[in-house]
Amino acid sequence: MSTLVVIGYDDQFKAEEVRLSLMKMQKDYLIDLEDAVVAVKDQKGKVRLHQAVNVTAAGAVSGGFWGTLVGMLFLNPLLGMAVGPPQERFPAPSRMSASMTNL
């Protein structure tokens, strides 16, 4: 079961310091941390998120792995069956000319 904990700080650097402390505690197996985010609101009111884990890159790597695995399992055998038999029935011109000269 996951628990969401939100802690507010007035200073961005204090929040970053606490996040680093949490990461050290995770390396020592004291806590189980899925992600830690520092949200900073700038002068214009725009909120920026500084995440410990880059979820975009993690999703791309995971999607690439599963896409490759599914493609290798399901699409390559079908492609091989579709392309293989026509090549046997219709040989390449270089093979035909070599076989014609041997006659």
Per-residue pLDDT tens for 12-22? 899 999 999 99
Distance (Å, whole) CA 34 – CA 75: 35
Q: Is residue 89 predicted with pLDDT exceeding 90?
A: no
Scanning 28-75, the segments in alpha helix (DSSP H) are 55-70
Q: Kindly state the percentage of the chain with pLDDT values over 90.
A: 23
> What pairing do the DSSP bridges indicate for beta strands 37-41 and 47-51?
antiparallel
Are the CB atoms for 31 and 57 separated by under 8 Å? no
* pTM confidence score: 0.51
Lowest mean pLDDT among 4-13, 41-50, 76-85: 76-85
Q: What is the 3-class SS of 24-41, one letter each residue?
A: HHHHCCCCCCCCCEEEEE
